[in-house]
Amino acid sequence: MNYILLGPPGAGKGTQAKKIVEYFAIVHLSTGDMFREAKKSNEALSKFLSSGQLVPDEIVINMIKERLEKDDIKKGFLFDGFPRTIKQTEELEIILKSKNLKIDAVFLINIYFEEVIKRITGRRVCECGTSYNIGMIPSKEDGKCDRCGRKLIQRNDDKEDVAKERFTVYGKQTKPLIGYYKKIGLLVNIEGAKDEKDVFEQIKRHIKAKNDK
C-alpha cells in the first residue's frame, strides 16, 4: 500500500492524509514535516524555506532517499507534498525501483479554483492554535476565539492575492505530474468539493477495492 496524495492548497490534503495513514496504519511521508525537522540542522535548507523559495529538487530527493531507508516504510506509505516536479517524479521512480517498491495509486483531490479561494480566504486562526473558517467552521462570536476569547487573525498566506498566486503556482507545477501518472494508469480522481468525510470515503473505497482482490 504505497500512495501519493496530490491536490491544490486548500483542498484539505493535510486532513485527508491524516485520515488515510491512521485508517490503514501506513507511514505519513510529509515533506512539509520533514522540512521543518531538517531545518533545525540544515542551514542551506533553512535559507530556502525562510525565503519562501522552492526547495531545489536535489535537496528534496536526497531527503526522500534517506527517509526511504528506514524500515517503517515497509508497512506502506503515503507521500504528501511530494513529488512536486517531473524531475522529482522521475527520481522517485528510480529510487523505488532500486528497492523493489512501487506506487499503487496517486490520489488527486480535485477542487475548483473558486471553491479553494473561498476556503482559503475564509480561514481565521488564533494564537492559541485553534483555526476556524468563516463559511465552514465559524467561531461562535464573530472574530473571537471560542477557546480563549482572543481576536482571530487572517494569515498572510490566506489573503486573496497570495492564495490566488499559490493556486497558480500549484497548477503550473502539478499539471505535468498529473499527465504523467494518468499516462501510466495510476491517477485516481477524487471529488474534493465535498465535506471531509465524503472525500475520505472516496479514497477508502478505492484502496479497499484494490486490496480486497
Q: Is residue 205 flagged as an active site residue?
A: no
Cα separations in angstroms, 133 against 25, 143, 196: 29, 11, 14
Q: Is residue 19 flagged as an active site residue?
A: no
Q: Residues 192, 184: contact at Cβ < 8 Å? A: no
Phi–psi pair at 131, nearest 5 degrees:
-120, 155
Return the residue matching grid coordinates 500500500.
Answer: 1
For the bound state, the minimum distance from the C-beta of residue 132 to Zn ion, rounded and expressed in Å, comes to: 9
Q: Is 53 helix (H, G, I), strand (E, B) or coil?
A: coil
Binding to Zn ion by residue 145, rule CB under 5 A? Answer: yes
Binding to Zn ion by residue 148, rule CB under 5 A? Answer: yes
CB atoms within 10 A of CB 46: 14
Residue of the chain from 44, 54, 94, 128 that contacts Zn ion (CB under 5 A): 128
Which residue lies nearer to Zn ion by CB, 94 or 128?
Answer: 128
For the bound state, the minimum distance from the C-beta of residue 55 to Zn ion, rounded and expressed in Å, comes to: 31
Measuring CA to CA, which residue among 10, 16, 198 is closest to residue 107? 16
Which residue lies nearer to Zn ion by CB, 102 or 150?
Answer: 150
Q: Which stretch binds Zn ion (CB under 5 A): 45-53, 73-81, 149-157, 188-196?
A: 149-157
Binding to Zn ion by residue 152, rule CB under 5 A? Answer: no
For the bound state, the minimum distance from the C-beta of residue 138 to Zn ion, rounded and expressed in Å, comes to: 14
Which residue lies nearer to Zn ion by CB, 75 or 150?
Answer: 150
Q: Residues 33, 136: contact at Cβ < 8 Å? A: no
Q: Is residue 67 flagged as an active site residue?
A: no
Q: Is residue 84 flagged as an active site residue?
A: yes
Residue 76 Rama label (left phi>0; alpha psi -120 to 50; beta): left
Q: Is residue 166 flagged as an active site residue?
A: yes
